[in-house]
Chain A
C-alpha cells in the first residue's frame, strides 16, 4: 500500500500547484476541498494491514472539517464579493508556477539531508509535505486577496498535516483533534473578520475596496 501513500503525496503537491496557478477564487476553494479530501484518505492507506479506530477518526474528521465545512465557510465569507478573479497578484500566475516548481525542487533537495528515524510510510512524505508548506506560504505571500491568503494558510496546514498523519502516532488522538479543531476555528474567525471588514467597507465608502494594508477583502 506504500504506493497509494506515494500517490496521495504527489496529488497533494500537485493540487497545491494548481491552486497557485489558479485565478478564480471559487475554483481555488474547490481545489482546496479536493486536496483536503485526498488528505483525509491518507490515514486509511497508512496502516494497510490494520486500520485502527484512530486512523478512521482522524480521516473522517479531516474530511468533514476541511473538505466540507471549511470550504463552506469560505464561500459564505466571500458571498458579497466578486468571485471571479484574484486582483493584481504580487507575482504573476506564470511566474508563480515557475517559482512553485523551483520551491518543490528546493524542498526535495533539503529533504535529502534530513533523515527520519524509524520506518516512514513513504520516503516521499517529507519532501511532499515540505513542498506543500512552502507552496502554501507562497500563496499567502504573493496573493493580495484576503480569502486567498486564508487558503494559503490552509494549504500550509495541510502540508504540516500530511507530515504529521503519516509519520507518527505519538500524538494522542485527542490532541490531534484539538489541532484540527483549532484550525477550523481559525478559519471560522478569519471568515467572520473578512465578513465584518466587507460590511464596514460597504457601510463607509463603497468605492474603497483596497484597504491600507494591502489586502483586498
Chain B
C-alpha cells in the first residue's frame, strides 16, 4: 500500500516537471493547491474547453441570479429564503468547480455538490407532491449516474496511476478499454445531460423548479453532462470507430424524440424541458461528427464538429435561459403554466413577448440569432463528413443532416405553437388574467442581456466561434493554426452579410409599405370569421390542437393518448376531451422497473420469516457453507 502512495507521489513530481517544460499545450491558466483528502488535490485548470463552459456558467448564473431577485418577490411573505440562497451560491460554486477541476476527487466532489444543491433548489415549492416527486427523481437518477462516473474515473485513474486529469490524459488506453470507459461516461454523464432514454428526470424537474433554477438547470446544469463527456473524450484521445457513430446516433435519437415530445406538451416549462433534450441531441450530433473526424484522422472535420457542439452549448445556455425566464414571467402573470389557457399576452406584456420571440427564433436555429450560427457549423461539418468520410460514415452524416433539418422544422412548428398560443390571439380562458403578477424590472434586465447576447453572437459570431474552435481543436488535440479555418469563416461571414441584406430589405419594405399606406385610413375590425359572426376566444386553436396533426402522425412513437371527446347523435351531449403524450422510457422502462423492485422488496418484507429459529439456521448454514467451500 505504501508503494501505491509513493507511486502517487512520484507521479505528482513528474507532473511538476511537465509543467516546467511547458508541455501542456493550450492551457490558459492552472492552479495547484494541496487538498488533504485521500487522492485529492485542489487542482484547477482553465483550458479552452473549460473556457466555453465557464462562460456559459458565468453568464447564466449571473443573469438568473438577478432574475431571481425579482422573481422570488412573490414568495417573500410566505417562505424563508435562507436555504434557497445558500444552495444557489453552493450550486454556482459547484458549477465553476466542475468545469475547472483537474482532479478526479475534486470533480466528483463538485459533481455531488451540484446534484445536492440542485435538488434543494428544485424542491423549493415542496408543498406540492409533484415537485417532491420530481426532485426525488432527479436526485436518485443523478446520484446513480454519479456512481457510474466514479467507476469510470477510477478505471481511468487506475490505468494511469494518477487522479489528475492532465496526467491521465498522458497515458495510453487500450482501445477496448477506452470504449468501455466511454460507454460508462455516456450513461453516467448522459443521465445528467438528458440522453434518451435516461432523460426522464428532466421533464419533471424543470417545471417543478422555480424559474431561475429551471434556467440554470437547462442552461448549464445539463451541459455539465456534455462537459463531462468532452472531458473524457479529451482525456482518452484515441477512441474506437464505433464511438463516433454511437454518439451521432444518440444525437439523432435525442434530438428527434426531444422535439417530438415537446410538441406533445401543453405545459410551457415541460415543453421547454423537452427542447433541452433536443438541443442536447444537436450538441451530440456535433460531438459525433467530431469523433468521426478524429477516428478518420481528419482534424478539420473534428474541429468543425467539436467546435459547433461547443458553440451550441454556449448558445443553448443563452437562449434557453432567456426562454425560461420569459416563461417565468408568463407564469407569474397568468398563474398557470398550461398553454391551453393562455393567449394574447403580447398586448399585455409587449417587452417580454419580444424577448421571448428572440429566444424562440434562436432556438429554432433561424438566422439573425445565435442558434443558426452553431447549427450552421454543425451542418457544415456534417456535409464535410458526407463528402470525405468512407461509405458508412457518409451515410451516417446524411442521416445526421436529415434529422437536423427535421429537428429544425419541428422546433419551428413547436415554437410557433408556443408563441402563437401564449402571446398571440385572445386569452383562452374567459376571465381576465389576475393582474397581481407584476413583472419587476429586475426580471426584464437579465432577459434583455441574454436577448442581446443572442443577437450579438448571431450577427458577430467571430469571437465566440473562434473560442469554440479553439476548444474544439483542444478537444481533438490538434493545432488550430494548421487547419484551413478560412473554409468555415468565409461562409460564416457571407451568411452574416446575407442576414444584413435581409435586414436591409426588411427596412426597405417597411419604408415602401409606409409610403403606400400614406393617406389611407387603417380601420380596425373584428377578425373575419368567414361569415361566422359569433367567434369566441374558446374556438381558437389551442396548443394541443395545433400540434395534433404532427403528434397524431407519429403517435406510434409518442404514446399519444386521447380520452373522451366522442360526439354521438345529431344533438350531442356535453362532452370533454383530454389528450396527453407519454414518455415511453418512463412509462415502459423506469416505472415498471421501479414498481417491480419495490414490490419485490415489499414482498420480502411481508414474507419475512418471523421465526428467530430460521435466522439461527442462516448462521449455521452460512458456517457450514464456508467450511465446505474453504476446507473441502
Contact = CB atoms under 8 A, between A and B. Distances in A.
Interface string A129-154: 00000000100111010000100000
A215 interface: yes
A212 interface: yes
A137 B610 contact: no
A90 interface: yes
A213 interface: yes
Q: How large is the interface on A (under 10, 10 to 19, 20 to 34, 35 or more residues)?
A: 10 to 19
Contact of A137 (B611, B612, B620): B620
Contacts of B620: 137, 141
A212 B611 CA distance: 8
Contacts of B610: 212-214
A144 B614 CA distance: 11
B616 A140 contact: yes
Nearest to B610: A214
Contacts of A142: 613
Nearest to A141: B613
B616 A213 contact: no
B617 interface: yes
A137 B613 CA distance: 10
Contacts of A213: 610-612
Nearest to A114: B631
Interface string A202-217: 0000000000111100
B547 to A, nearest CB: 57
Interface in B609-631: 610-613, 616-617, 620
A24 B54 CA distance: 80
A117 B617 CA distance: 31
Nearest to A215: B612
A17 B611 CA distance: 23
B126 to A, nearest CB: 36
A103 B610 CA distance: 26
Nearest to A134: B620
A90 B617 CA distance: 13
Contacts of B611: 90, 144, 213-215
A89 to B, nearest CB: 10
Contact of B616 (A137, A144, A212): A137
A149 B613 CA distance: 9
A215 B610 CA distance: 9
Contacts of B612: 149, 213-215
Interface in A106-136: none
Nearest to B613: A141
A142 B616 CA distance: 10
Interface string A43-78: 000000000000000000000000000000000000
B616 A214 contact: no
A106 to B, nearest CB: 11
Contacts of A140: 613, 616
Given A141-B613, A141-B617, 12 more contacts: A137-B616, A141-B620, A142-B613, A144-B611, A144-B613, A149-B612, A149-B613, A212-B610, A213-B611, A213-B612, A214-B612, A214-B613
25 contacts: A90-B611, A90-B613, A137-B616, A137-B620, A140-B613, A140-B616, A141-B613, A141-B616, A141-B617, A141-B620, A142-B613, A144-B611, A144-B613, A149-B612, A149-B613, A212-B610, A213-B610, A213-B611, A213-B612, A214-B610, A214-B611, A214-B612, A214-B613, A215-B611, A215-B612
